[in-house]
Amino acid sequence: MSAFFVEHGEPAFRATQVMKWIYHEGSTDFSQMTNLSKKLRLFLQENCSLEAPEIVAEELAADGTYKWALKMHCGNRVETVFIPEEKRGTLCISSQVGCALACTFCSTAQQGFNRNLTVAEIIGQIYVAQQRLGTTKKITNVVLMGMGEPLLNFNNVVTAINLMLDDLGYGLSKRRVTLSTSGVVPAMYRLGGVCDVSLAVSLHAANDELRNELVPINQKYPLKELLAVCKENVKIAPRRKITFEYVMLDGINDTDLDARMLIKLLKDIPCKINLIPFNPFPNSIYKCSSKTRILKFRDILHNSGLIVTIRRTRGEDIAAACGQLVGKVQDKSRRHLKFAND
């Protein structure tokens, strides 16, 4: 943006002024940017545009969770979710239209894959949500846990994260931005060198045989490779722990033996484990583990010294919970056969 203004005979600091109007004041109307000259404002109105994704549907859950269906310029839709809590507000955003990874327990993955979201479409979800929420609710945390695998849209996701962290953007702490990945190992190594944010890994199984079934990308990047890159990642910020996400599937991955295998698998990695009650969706072959079984599983892990939490299900009554997000996706993928290039 600085280069743009210099190219048109304006000082580079005009970029700073415009950034503040967009991200701090929430304005997309160039005519309101009163610290710009009238001539420059007119030029911007005639030659530039600031367009946010369009809200085409909004749902409010009984627990206060919002879900928005956002229409992108191609006609496809993605979903974005805001989860209010007493001391924070978490926005779950999407990085792709659909998902190509075909995880069997996830409704999003069953919709197929269309394309990557642009930087504008990723950061635009925060803009739209904050505008819709107004001043009464504040977005304090952002998680890239919506539709898509963020690391298969690497460049756009990293650029958008930098805008989230930038003081001229949303000024979020790197501890308050979390990227969730199913385990795209080469991109995880690359991420560690260019972007320091919290990392969540969708694990869901403690052995390759089961994980190959639940998270098919494991066939390409098995647990040995995944855990190796996780150990490298914690070296970047030794005081920060990796979160391992583990969906609880009745009779599939929730036995005492599974818990003991998980303890052995993660014993050398500073981490915390987030147990996620499975959220059902139409035609799913899975059921959620019982509350008793989830608590027993948690206790086995906790007694070994691991930090364990059970994710509170939010927005389930509007299909806004983990693994339930679906958009309007024109599937262009052969998702069971194709993972993006390294």
301 and 255 inside one domain: yes
285 and 213 inside one domain: yes
Range of the domain at 16: 1-50
- Asked if pLDDT for residue 126 goes beyond 60, the answer is yes
Q: Quick check: is 28 in a domain? A: yes
45 and 55 inside one domain: no
pLDDT band at 45 (very low <50, low <70, confident <90, very high): very high
The CATH number given to whatever domain includes residue 28 is 1.10.150.530
* Distance in angstroms (rounded) separating the CA atoms of residues 178 and 204: 18
Q: Which helix (H) or strand (E) holds 247?
A: strand 242-248
* Distance in angstroms (rounded) separating the CA atoms of residues 301 and 258: 10
pLDDT, mean of residues 168-183:
94
Reduced to 3 states (helix: H, G, I; strand: E, B; else coil), residue 340 is: coil
122 and 227 inside one domain: yes
Count of domains observed in the chain: 2
Cα torsion 113, 115, 121, 123: sign: positive
pLDDT band at 284 (very low <50, low <70, confident <90, very high): confident
Q: Which residue has the tokens 């504040």?
A: 138
Closest CA to 67 of 78, 79, 55, 75: 79
Residues 6+ apart with CB under 8 A from 145: 92, 178, 180, 200, 322
- Number of Cβ atoms within 10 Å of the Cβ of 56: 11
The two tokens of residue 316 are 């389930």
pLDDT band at 110 (very low <50, low <70, confident <90, very high): confident
Q: Which helix (H) or strand (E) holds 79?
A: strand 77-84
- Number of Cβ atoms within 10 Å of the Cβ of 269: 15
pLDDT of residue 134: 86
59 and 204 inside one domain: yes
- Asked if pLDDT for residue 318 goes beyond 70, the answer is no
53 in Cβ contact with 71 (< 8 Å): yes
The two tokens of residue 3 are 């280069």
pLDDT band at 339 (very low <50, low <70, confident <90, very high): very low
Closest CA to 226 of 254, 185, 179: 185
pLDDT band at 319 (very low <50, low <70, confident <90, very high): low
List pLDDT tens digits, range 85-96: 888 999 999 999
42 and 75 inside one domain: no
36 and 62 inside one domain: no
Instruction: Report the DSSP pairing between strands 89-92 and 77-84.
Output: antiparallel
List pLDDT tens digits, range 22-37: 999 988 899 999 999 9
173 and 303 inside one domain: yes
pLDDT of residue 140: 95
23 in Cβ contact with 160 (< 8 Å): no
161 and 234 inside one domain: yes
Question: Burial, 64: exposed, middle or buried (Cβ in 10 Å; 0-12, 13-18, 19+)?
Answer: middle
53 in Cβ contact with 61 (< 8 Å): no
pLDDT, mean of residues 281-305:
93
21 and 163 inside one domain: no
Q: Supply the residues annotated as catalytic.
A: 79, 322
212: DSSP letter: H
